[in-house]
Chains A and B, each alone.
Chain A
Amino acid sequence: MKVKHIAIVLVLAAFLFLHMDFWLWDNTTLVFGWWPLQSFYHVLLWVFGGTLVVYLFTKWGMPDKDPDSSEEDEK
């Protein structure tokens, strides 16, 4: 297994660990006076963490180019 494949597995494991948020289950703090902290945390993790993980997956886990593919996209 290549180093970049091990790296993406570790990144995925970290993402799943952060999702388990057991340290926030009883927290009822409201961010900005209205947004429950646990939910706020997950929105950040979902949007920024999720996008970063998927970006790294496309960089490290997928081929760079495909010989059969055409670059003549419609849009």
Chain B
Amino acid sequence: MSTETLNMVIIFGYIVILLATGFWAWQKSNKSKSQFLMANRQFGTLVVFAGIFAGNMSAFAMIGGPGFSYHNGFSSPVYLASLGAVAIPISLYFANFRLWQLGKHFNYVTPEEAISDRLDSKAVKWVLFALFMIFLIPYGEVGVIGGGRILDILTGGMIPYWAGCIIPVIAVLIYLAIGGMKSAGWVNVVHCFVFLTVLLIAFFVIPANIGGFREATEAALAVNPDLASTAGNAAFSPAKWLLFSLVVTGVSVGVFPHLMMRFATSASIKTIKTMFIAYPAALAITWIAGSYIGVWGAGQFPGLIGAESDNILPMMAAQFAPAIVGGLLSAGMLAAMMSTLDAQLLTVSIMASRNFSFREKNREAIDDQAADRKEMLWSRAWIGIMCVVAVALAISKPVAIVKLAELSLSGFACMLPSIIAVQWWKRTTKQGVLASLLVSSAMLPFLFFLDAPSWMTFGTGLPAVPAMTVSVILLLAVSLMTPPHSREKIDKWWSVFKPGKVTS
């Protein structure tokens, strides 16, 4: 059996396992609307951790990260992700913990429902929804495009690019349509287990077949001695060294809507705390294993230019690992991509369904059971619609999608101050939130695509930094200049945050 055929067998076998897991998870639930949308808010540590971690680890960690490390050396994973070890749990806490408490109490499903209720503003709801869509859909598309490329490369073209885009999306469509959040949660346990395990195996097997860690590193440093340190590498200026993984891949993660929805399914505070404590080590394993293989690749496949190095992981596996490890690595790459994709598709589908098709007021005309059935039907319909959109965009590959995806992470960073302030600062007003969201988001395309001068990015070269600064200033200034909201709404929320003083 050729390597490409083995890869294809493993990939299809993996998809069968995913579908079986999704079906099993739904079968063992009571199949209610609450299970479909929010897994009854009863997921424990294992499922919540897998959902949030795997939802965060996109194909970037297994494609872009090793590719970047090929050119920039052993410090690359530190630069790209290390401060996220602390920034992600803390950001998730401030952006989600109180929403989680409120969701359990008032039965909010999406973040924009809760926030617009607190501020008594439909404008806030629609602006939040629009920004979530604008930043999330292109970000998700990059995953679908990555999936198409991965399957095309790993199967030697037996699965062409277009089919490589469709196959993972169809698999995701099936398990999401079967059991929504309930199925996705357990499928993500499989995804998480597979890509962590496979990366660890590859981390030891690949250098062993080169001759050992020492030989692999010596070969890489013989090609480029600068791979050992950050000295002389302009990509690692002190400001970027601090702010890239702190802001762009760190705190912005707290308001990824697909992770916010996953966070809201947590069963207890113990679940959340344990998930946070496990996060730094899991993040380190994923980034360091993939990135180091990328650096060792510089010694084995010298001369790759630019994005050519993005394929370094499968190239190293093909050359220095048994065929079965290479095949498992292909499943691992697919797992990293699909885990993010399913979270994103489910989130945009639930948000679209709740905002366009089924609103709470629809309940007034029908009984609860009929309303629940109708809402699940609409959610499933939107999952189907979003899957079609995802495939169509990935196959046509409009340039605008890729460009928009580049600013998605910065866009989420700009939303963070408003989402946190609504939950922690009673003086926050809808005018402050709207000014902060609209102005900072509008700034981003100019900072990104018009080569903003260095002073505008405070010398960091990161557009997220000035845009986020403006979002904070506007939020504070406009909120203080506008009349505060009624005490009644504020007290309704804050009563939930006081232990022992909860009203039902």
Q: Which of B83, B86, B104, B105 has the most CB of A within 10 A?
A: B86
CB contacts (< 8 Å) of A63 on chain B: these are 269, 499
Asked if B17 CB lies within 8 Å of chain A CBs, one says no
The smallest beta-carbon distance between A36 and chain B, in angstroms, is 4
Contact yes or no, A73 B267, CB < 8 A: yes
Contact yes or no, A54 B267, CB < 8 A: no
Q: A54-B89, A74-B42 are in contact. Are A39 and B75 (CB under 8 A)?
A: yes
CB contacts (< 8 Å) of B273 on chain A: these are 58, 62
Question: Please, which residue of chain B has its CB at the minimum distance from the CB of A66?
Answer: B269
Per-position 1/0 for B227-267, Cβ under 8 A of A: 01111000000100110001000000000000000000001
Q: A30-B217, A30-B228, A74-B47 are in contact. Are A46 and B82 (CB under 8 A)?
A: yes
Q: Point out the residue from B90, B213, B242, B277 that lies within 8 Å of A34, measured CB to CB.
A: B213
User: Total A-B residue pairs with C-beta atoms closer than 8 Å?
Assistant: 154
The smallest beta-carbon distance between A69 and chain B, in angstroms, is 4
CB contacts (< 8 Å) of B105 on chain A: these are 68
Contact yes or no, A50 B276, CB < 8 A: no
The smallest beta-carbon distance between A56 and chain B, in angstroms, is 10
Contact yes or no, B213 A32, CB < 8 A: yes
Asked if B195 CB lies within 8 Å of chain A CBs, one says no
Q: A22-B238, A26-B231, A66-B499 are in contact. Are A46 and B267 (CB under 8 A)?
A: no
Contact yes or no, A34 B86, CB < 8 A: no
CB contacts (< 8 Å) of B277 on chain A: these are 51, 54-55, 58
CB contacts (< 8 Å) of A71 on chain B: these are 267-268, 270
Q: A19-B242, A42-B75 are in contact. Are A73 and B213 (CB under 8 A)?
A: no
Per-position 1/0 for A31-75, Cβ under 8 A of B: 011111011001101110011011101100111111111111111
Contact yes or no, B82 A70, CB < 8 A: no
Q: Which of A46, A63, A64 has the most CB of B within 10 A?
A: A46
Interface segment out of the listed B279-287, B430-438, B439-447: B279-287
Q: Point out the residue from B213, B230, B267, B502 that lies within 8 Å of A38, measured CB to CB.
A: B230
CB contacts (< 8 Å) of A57 on chain B: these are 86, 89-90, 93, 276
CB contacts (< 8 Å) of B413 on chain A: these are none
Contact residues of B with A, CB < 8 Å? 42-47, 73-75, 78, 82-83, 85-86, 89-90, 93, 97, 101, 104-105, 212-214, 216-218, 225, 228-231, 238, 241-242, 246, 267-273, 276-277, 279-281, 283-284, 288, 496, 499-500, 502
